[in-house]
Chains A and B, each alone.
Chain A
């Protein structure tokens, strides 16, 4: 089974100016007017980031620049409605101080899942079309609600450039806050898994903010930089609940322990779809040092802590990287790069009742899938044939060693290793420039759902035959290749003094033959052009065309029995 995606885009841009006199060049302007808009039928995609304002509403757009001695002020903004506006204010005082204030607010429509596709019932007697057995149905308690998010982002950054003999050269203090408000759709799944889907509207009211301080110093030939960041996510929306049905026999509708014993809850309202508060501290130090006219080193260390404030879980990330660059000659430069990071996330005990009350224990200690050690090593050489032509060769080895996630069924390996080889040519000629890049990556055990599908059928349990046994799935599935070949190129030419043409193309051919279920093939092609022509002093035309085609082998597995 293959999935195919094709995208075509044609862009046309033109500008005519018939003004009798040349336009006045000015940094300052103001636009004052009234606007209105309307949406016909569904606006989810036709007006995804636009409101329908069916009455006349004022609008303002402006830019104002003023210089007074050492002080320069630039203020620009646009107001369309109470949920569509942006402002930017930049104040410079000489070379030592800069203040940048930005505010941006916009509207985004979200789709409303009609759930209409979740309505059907299996036939116990297909020949006579007799309904029975497993079924799925839905209830949307807010079918007419239009879901949307209003984003509001504010940021204030102060930069101080210190012009004295001390090592400190620059300090930056910043605050950034992002708010998301509106309504979104929440869903609940009742019974064993997807028999009954319920849906209703929920308020969105989230605030994320970052506070940071950054300091840059210079000691001799060494630049040292430190950045400390505190981030906080607050969810101020109410906690919503949904009613989860009592489990019933799918054919008779009776309450039978056989079915009740397969669910963890039922016949009660329970909280759902809750995003908890969390916070993060991050400290990063970077160093760049010119140790000789030909040799430069770069190093960076990072430590961050993220906390889940609802259940007091903590995740620590430690990272370090080092790069050495040497100019062997005027025409040849070489880089060696090493990077390592480790993630350590707390365990969490998931307390569940035994299977069918007194059967196998189902409670478990959740070991985090985040926990891992990742390192990579990269070598890159750049050779210049001339000032206008160069060749870049890159080799990269990457290793991902996960603590708790298996990525291969046969050998229970938790490790992914990757070898990447890349060649790139860049050239500039008279009135033209081009590049071609070819890469091949060999991946041993890319991430996969190593026991996600294909259970052992006919498994004997308690004297009976089971068609499905949750803990003995054996099928591997992934959308990632273990061999990945890519080629891309671009050619830009000035056809005349007033026109230019860019042609580009990308091709990818990947496959995964490690799986025990199927061979995954992955192919994508993309090509297009952009043509620009200035017909005369007042007319500019741009035409673009883009074609994309992608396909990938995937597997469709049918769930048997409940779940």
Chain B
């Protein structure tokens, strides 16, 4: 049996977060009486605080038992962060990959 002495642990999570402001539709006050102020310029401010994140996290642990006490261990972590509304901190799209190989001894 090919996987007779194998133990596998798999963890995965997917997360999506969004936040936004509604557009500004009206102003209180007599804005026409105020010179040198362009209220049209504020029409896009609701988009400045948009947030749209996707996060994918996968973790795999594999143990191959050489004996009852000694096993070969392999770990792989993968994180992917997608930023679909970058602003203050710039585009935060990124990936992180982690790998580990070793031995585990029970005693």
Contacts and interface: CB of A to CB of B under 8 A. Distances in A.
Contacts of A31: 73, 102-105
Given A31-B103, A117-B88, A50 B6 contact: no
A44 B81 CA distance: 9
A24 B38 contact: no
Interface stretch (A107-115, A233-241, A282-290, A498-506): A107-115
A10 B16 CA distance: 9
Contacts of A123: 38, 41
A45 B41 contact: no
Interface string B79-95: 11101000111111111
B99 A35 contact: yes
A124 interface: yes
A469 interface: no
Contacts of B18: 4-7
Contacts of A122: 36-38, 41
Nearest to A118: B88
Contact of A13 (B10, B14, B55, B95): B10
Contacts of A82: none
A29 B106 contact: yes
B69 interface: yes
A350 interface: no
Interface in A50-95: 50, 52, 59
Interface string B30-53: 100010111111100110110101
Interface string B52-83: 01010000000001001100010101011101
Contacts of B12: 11-13
A33 B73 contact: yes
A241 B11 CA distance: 47
A61 to B, nearest CB: 8
Contacts of A40: 94-97
Contacts of A45: 53, 55, 81, 83, 92, 94
Contacts of B107: 26, 28-30
Given A29-B107, A44-B89, A47-B79, A3 B102 contact: no
A37 B20 contact: no
Contacts of B68: 21, 23-24
Indicate the member of A8, A15, A45, A111 with the most B CB atoms within 10 Å. Answer: A45
A46 B78 CA distance: 9
B43 to A, nearest CB: 11
A467 interface: yes
A111 B80 CA distance: 17
Contacts of B103: 31-33
Interface residues of B, number: 71
Given A6-B18, A42-B93, A117-B48, A24 B106 contact: yes
Contacts of A556: 24, 42, 45
A116 B48 CA distance: 12
Given A10-B13, A12-B12, A126-B38, A59 B93 contact: no
B4 to A, nearest CB: 4
A256 interface: no
Given A9-B14, A12-B13, A1 B24 contact: yes
Please classify the interface of chain B as helix (H, G, I), strand (E, B), loop, or mixed, using the class held by over half of its residues. strand
A349 B53 CA distance: 46
Contacts of A42: 81, 90-94
A8 B34 CA distance: 44
Contacts of B105: 29-32
Contact of A7 (B5, B15, B41, B102): B15
Given A7-B16, A556-B45, A35 B6 contact: no
Contact of B15 (A10, A18, A19, A33): A10
Nearest to B58: A12
Contacts of A9: 13-16
A43 interface: yes
A111 B88 CA distance: 9
Interface string A127-146: 00000110000000000000
Contacts of A20: 1, 4-5, 65
A114 B5 contact: no
Nearest to A4: B20
Contacts of B90: 42, 112, 114, 116
B13 to A, nearest CB: 4
B54 to A, nearest CB: 10
A388 B23 CA distance: 51
A38 interface: yes
Contacts of B15: 7-10
A39 B41 CA distance: 38
Contacts of A23: 7, 65, 68
Contacts of B39: 558
B96 A43 contact: yes
A212 B99 CA distance: 42
Contacts of B81: 42, 45-46
A19 B102 contact: no
Nearest to B104: A31
Contacts of B77: 37
A2 interface: yes
A560 interface: yes
21 contacts: A3-B22, A5-B17, A7-B17, A14-B11, A17-B8, A26-B69, A29-B104, A29-B105, A33-B100, A33-B101, A35-B98, A37-B77, A42-B94, A47-B96, A50-B79, A114-B89, A117-B87, A117-B88, A123-B41, A556-B45, A560-B37
Given A1-B21, A18-B1, 9 more contacts: A3-B49, A13-B10, A15-B10, A28-B106, A33-B73, A37-B98, A45-B83, A46-B95, A47-B79
